[in-house]
């Protein structure tokens, strides 16, 4: 009798509690998930939101809510609110939505970066002026970054007799690419940690 009761409890375990394990799977594996569809779809929605793909994220969360148990839907809707606020670069709404999930809100620096992103890469539906402004600002930012990287290379080369501007320019481009790669790697690590924390918080709430 006790083993049977334990089996029932395992079967009744919330699908949201399995999100941390499902996080390790690829998008293709999550799309094929049959046992915990709600959790798999929610993860796919969160990943789409991190790519700032609001349309795809909204569709995945719609499927997640439809596949979830009634007692899980409120938590999924709150998760969807936070993810969609991120995808649509709505910094103030993101802060409120994350607090409703029972998590620590994003730092002021993270919110500032999101606001800058919304200016550089306007969300879908933004006007032509906003898009042109974003392109111009991105080009100016690239020029500024390359100029700074070239200046760093020139300064480093001074004790060794100096380097030509052309050589410094190529090395500056290489330095900028390496720095960008490191930032992307660190960003992905932080996103993975944030997703795991979010999954733990939702499981605890359940």
**Does some domain include residue 132?**
yes
156: pLDDT strictly greater than 50:
yes
Residues 110 and 92: beta-carbon distance below 8 Å: no
Residues 149 and 178: beta-carbon distance below 8 Å: no
> Token digits for 127?
């006007």
**Does some domain include residue 206?**
no
Q: Which of 44, 78, 110 is the last residue of a domain?
A: 110
- Higher pLDDT: 63 or 20? It is 63
Q: What is the pLDDT of residue 65?
A: 92
Instruction: For residues 9 and 106, state if they share a domain.
Output: yes
**Does some domain include residue 204?**
no
Task: Work out the pLDDT band at 3, boundaries 50, 70, 90.
Answer: very low
Instruction: For residues 99 and 28, state if they share a domain.
Output: yes
Q: What is the pLDDT of residue 77?
A: 92
Domain that holds residue 26: 2-110
Task: Work out the pLDDT band at 2, boundaries 50, 70, 90.
Answer: very low
In 92-117, which positions are buried (b, 16+ CB within 10 angstroms) versus exposed (e)?
A: eebbebbeebebeebeeeeeeebeeb
Q: Which of 90, 110, 130 is the last residue of a domain?
A: 110
Instruction: For residues 169 and 125, state if they share a domain.
Output: yes
Q: What is the pLDDT of residue 6?
A: 44
Residue closest to 33 by CA, chosen among 46, 48, 18, 47: 18
Say if residue 58 is exposed, middle or buried (CB neighbours under 10 Å; 0-12, 13-18, 19+). middle
111: pLDDT strictly greater than 60:
yes
Q: Helix (H, G, I), strand (E, B), or coil: what is residue 36?
A: coil
Instruction: For residues 170 and 133, state if they share a domain.
Output: yes
**Does some domain include residue 133?**
yes
The per-residue pLDDT for range 138-150, each reduced to its tens digit, is 899 888 988 888 8
**Does some domain include residue 163?**
yes
The total of structural domains in the chain comes to 2
Instruction: For residues 26 and 94, state if they share a domain.
Output: yes
CA distances to 83, 156, 164, 173, 182 from 152, rounded to whole Å, are: 38, 6, 13, 11, 17
Average model confidence (pLDDT) for the chain? 80
Instruction: For residues 29 and 86, state if they share a domain.
Output: yes
Say which residue the tokens 């930032």 belong to: 183
Q: 18-22, 112-116, 157-161, 201-205 — which is least confidently predicted? A: 201-205
> Token digits for 122?
């306007």
């Amino acid at each position: 009798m006790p083993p049977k009761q334990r089996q029932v409890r395992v079967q009744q375990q919330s699908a949201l509690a399995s999100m941390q394990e499902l996080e390790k799977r690829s998008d293709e594996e999550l799309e094929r998930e049959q046992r915990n569809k709600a959790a798999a779809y929610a993860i796919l929605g969160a990943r789409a939101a991190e790519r700032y793909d609001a349309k795809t994220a909204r569709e995945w969360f719609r499927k997640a809510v439809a596949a979830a148990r009634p007692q899980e839907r409120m938590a999924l809707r709150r998760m969807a609110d936070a993810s969609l606020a991120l995808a649509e670069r709505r910094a103030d709404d993101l802060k409120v939505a994350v607090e409703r999930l029972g998590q620590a809100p994003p730092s002021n620096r993270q919110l500032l970066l999101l606001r800058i992103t919304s200016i550089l890469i306007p969300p879908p539906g933004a006007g032509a002026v906003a898009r042109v402004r974003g392109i111009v600002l991105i080009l100016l930012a690239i020029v500024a970054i390359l100029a700074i990287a070239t200046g760093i290379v020139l300064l480093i080369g001074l004790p060794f007799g100096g380097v030509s501007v052309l050589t410094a320019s190529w090395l500056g481009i290489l330095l900028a690419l390496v720095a960008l790669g490191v930032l992307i790697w660190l960003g992905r690590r932080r996103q993975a940690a944030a997703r795991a924390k979010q999954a733990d918080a939702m499981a605890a709430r359940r």
